[in-house]
Amino acid sequence: MKTAPSSLVRRLEEICGAENVFWRPADLLVWEYDAGFDRHPPSAVAVPGTAEEVVAIVRAARDAGVAIVPRGAGTGLSGGTIACAGAIVVTTARLRRIIEIDPVARVAVVEPGVPNLAVSVAARPHGLFFAPDPASQRISTIGGNVATNAGGPHALRYGSMSQHVLGVELVLPSGELARFGGPVADLPGYDCVPFIVGSEGTIGVVTKIWLRLLPLPEDVRTFVAVFSDVDSGARAASAIIASGVVPAAMEMLDAVTIGAVNQAFDVHLPTDAGALLLVEVEGLREETESWAAAIGRVLMQHGATDVRSAKSVEERELLWKARKLGYAALARIKPNNYLHDAVVPRSRLPEVLRDVNAIAARYGYVIANMFHIGDGNLHPVLLFDAREEPIERVMEASAEILKLAIDAGGALSGEHGIGLEKNHFMFWVFGPADLEAQRRARDAFDPDGMMNPGKVFPGGDACADIPTERAKRALAEGMWV
């Protein structure tokens, strides 16, 4: 027996065209997950092609009493685009225009479905680039980057999305199209842009973004330092920052990751290394020469057995390819992995990394570490086979790692967001009054809670029918002391 579309689906088809609305169960399968483990199908998916269509969709959903989940490329790792409570998904996949590159004002105006890297590609002929560079930048979109306040390796020097978003056009839950900020920094009135960046789709659907562009550096120097173990590499990274030199990027790869990327990309990283630091400096040629020499001295003084410089642009690009696609390379070891995104103070890195590895060993998991060591943003990756090992046990080990980071004075997330993955862990960091203040700020935009229900805040039941959500809630409550 065929299922008939709902009245809301019929209205969505009138707005977007039937070819841009999905509601049959088989069609919804590809929309029920992101890059994490939570799965739940939406009641329907709408793919608008204009901001006006987004306005009409939001108004139709509001009239029907149906919640909305904004979605970009679906590369998120925190379950932020999983549709709970009968919500529909509104995806920005067709909003892919780079509207303008203004080389004088150094501003790009883009729609939310534009891939991150495409902005820098468009800006390069003007001698400009877009600084935030998440590892998924070839496919993750600007709208999703805004939602999670994404960063990347070069956030060490340039900061995350919040430092590079000048303005946002947003469809509010009421169906109004509002603009906050714009092409000029420090406009009069309340500055809502930093609040919108990182709000994870809980206050509206982004339809246009004004981005700050930066001039391409005159000189870039990239080098790899070899260490016998992770501890000595972590101490060297802290010593570089303590010396007063802040690289553009500083990444760590452990032995497990080195082996995987060597196999996947033929990058010829030293096979006998216990850990590598990938360090990059950029700026004026006189500056980079001085910084590179200073960093080289610090590295050798703190245990580096070798420091190798990239000899060409091609070699540099291969090193960054290995780092940014290292996550995918780990599938050569195990078919599944659980990637976390905690932040710890740099001074606590060596001991925290030892304890993280000890947790993995106790549970019997292979662990890979490749992360933004310069700002303490850890990405421990537990490798396993979901056909043989229950996901609940992996989640338990991951929760212990997260708790370890919090107890060390760290944060729940550096760039992936809270979403559904970490919402119940929020009370590990914030007290009731803090969480209530955050809820009131969200409610000023969305008093009825119609945007991305069940995300960010702990304790709600909107997504309680998802098994992994129930398991995480029990872990968060059981481990809190």
pLDDT in tens, 346-395: 889 889 999 999 999 999 999 999 999 998 999 999 999 999 999 999 99
Q: How far apart are the first and last CA of the chain?
A: 53
Say whether both 57 and 75 belong to one domain: yes
Query: What CATH number does residue 179 fall under?
Result: 3.30.465.10
**Residue 116 tokens, joined:** 């991150």
Say whether both 137 and 193 belong to one domain: yes
In a domain, 362, yes or no: yes
In a domain, 2, yes or no: no
Instruction: Give pLDDT, residue 2.
Output: 52
DSSP E strand boundaries for 310-443: 336-339, 366-371, 380-384
Say whether both 190 and 292 belong to one domain: no
Q: At what angle do helices 230-242 and 285-301 cross, to 10 degrees?
A: 140
Please name the residue ranges forming H helices in 17-50. 25-28
Q: Which helix (H) or strand (E) holds 378?
A: none
**Residue 60 tokens, joined:** 């139709």
Cα angle 72, 73, 76 (rounded to 5 degrees) comes to 90
Say whether both 305 and 361 belong to one domain: no
Average pLDDT, the chain: 94
Cα distances (angstroms) measured from residue 28 to each of 32, 85, 273, 439: 7, 15, 45, 30
Say whether both 317 and 340 belong to one domain: no
Per-residue pLDDT of 29-56, as tens digits, reads 999 999 988 999 999 999 999 999 999 9
Whether residue 466 has pLDDT greater than 50: yes
Say whether both 417 and 429 belong to one domain: yes
In a domain, 109, yes or no: yes
Per-residue pLDDT of 287-336, as tens digits, reads 999 999 999 999 999 999 999 999 999 999 988 988 888 888 999 999 99
- Final residue before a domain boundary, out of 185, 215, 245: 215
Name 388's Cβ contacts closer than 8 Å, sequence gap at least 6. none
Whether residue 1 has pLDDT greater than 60: no
Nearest to 67 by CA among 438, 454, 464: 454
Say whether both 18 and 104 belong to one domain: no
Is this prediction's pTM over 0.85? yes
Nearest to 367 by CA among 358, 103, 266, 349: 358
Say whether both 243 and 347 belong to one domain: no
Instruction: Yes or no: say if 237 and 277 are a contact pair by the CB < 8 Å rule.
Output: yes
Report helix, strand or coil for 24. coil
Per-residue pLDDT of 51-90, as tens digits, reads 999 999 999 999 999 999 999 999 999 999 999 999 999 9
Rg of the chain over CA atoms, in angstroms? 23
Instruction: Yes or no: say if 49 and 68 are a contact pair by the CB < 8 Å rule.
Output: no
Per-residue pLDDT of 132-146, as tens digits, reads 999 999 999 999 999
In a domain, 1, yes or no: no
Instruction: Give pLDDT, residue 459.
Output: 83
In a domain, 209, yes or no: yes
Q: How far is Cα 39 from Cα 27, in angstroms, rounded to an integer?
A: 15
Burial class (CB in 10 A: 0-12, 13-18, 19+), 465: exposed
Query: Which range marks the domain in which residue 131 is found?
Result: 98-215
Please report, for the chain, how many H helices and E strands are present, in that order: 16, 18
- Final residue before a domain boundary, out of 184, 215, 246: 215
Instruction: Give pLDDT, residue 447.
Output: 95
In a domain, 284, yes or no: yes
Per-residue pLDDT of 278-288, as tens digits, reads 999 999 999 99
Say whether both 343 and 469 belong to one domain: yes
Instruction: Yes or no: say if 156 and 249 are a contact pair by the CB < 8 Å rule.
Output: yes
Nearest to 342 by CA among 404, 277, 271: 404
pLDDT band at 267; cut points 50, 70, 90:
confident
**Residue 329 tokens, joined:** 């390379």
As beta bridge partners, residue 46 has: 21, 90
* Residues written for the chain: 481
Query: What CATH number does residue 301 fall under?
Result: 3.30.70.2190
